[in-house]
Amino acid sequence: MDVSIIFVNYKTINLLANSIASVLTETKDISYEIIVVDNASGDDSRALLFEKFNNKVKYVSLPDNIGFGRANNEGIKIANGRNVFLLNPDTLLLNNAVKILSDYLDDNSEIGVVGANLYNEDKSFQPSFSHNYPSLGFEVSNLFHALFLFNRENVNSTKNPKIVKSVVGAAMMIKQSVIDKTGAFDPRFFMYAEEEEWCLRIRKSGHKIANVPEASILHLDGKSFDFSADRQKRRLEGVRTLYRISYSPFYCRILRVVEYLTIISRLAVSKILRNHAKIDFWSFMYDNRKWE
């Protein structure tokens, strides 16, 4: 088996069905399996997938919603592929991306992870990778409106692969041999930032990470997550978990101070300017300022 394609589903059956259909339509000249891990959606997704795709999908039903990374780990446990492709339900393959990414992994022994070029619905570029790792320097730059210091290009408009620090987890392919070496997603994460931490471990193990622009995938970002406040809270929890895992307690205490200063300064300015959208956002951030 060349590739195991793993989807994590949580009440996204219509998006998931379309994504699986795009895989079946676009993927050629390579052996693969499709694994769906359901995070206790509480719907009839199993029956709908069987009705639409018959035995082309392996279905794993979880009793609880355990989050993105941990659910993917359950899929990885039963994966038979030489390479493992983690794919979001809100994606649509635009070409034979599975084979393109798998071939690149097979042909480059030093590469442990690859990601595709992601596109918005209007086919404009969507951020697909990062050259930075979350840090105190990033947070201080954000406080002083100097994020341009970290604004390295996160899209690839060329035809050439790029070595990067991490790829977006919406379409991320990893060698099974690398997973055996580094482990999978850290179970301390529920959702968000887990791919950055895993990519760091993979880089520390001696492997490189690449964006392969030839592989093209449409990413309907956010369509699989209905509640923006809940989404933002999960994002905060993910980044804070990453900081706790990556840095010392003293480092994290400084991060908390910088984050707090950013929140209160942005909230004050938003109120002066009477920008109600930003007032709502920074008020939300203030209400969730305490790290768990």
**Top-level class of domain 3-219:** alpha beta
What is the reported pLDDT for 227? 42
What is the reported pLDDT for 89? 96
How far is it, in rounded angstroms, from Cα 25 to Cα 284?
42
Provide the residue ranges of all domains of the chain, joining segments of one domain with +: 3-219, 228-287
* Token reading at 8: 């994590």
Q: Tell me the HSE value of 137 on the side-chain side, using a 13 A CA sphere.
A: 6
Query: Taking a C-beta distance cutoff of 8 angstroms, is the pair 82, 90 a contact?
Result: no
What is the reported pLDDT for 226? 45
Q: Which element (helix H / strand E) includes 86? A: strand 83-87
What is the reported pLDDT for 112? 98
Spans in the chain with pLDDT lower than 70 = 222-228, 292
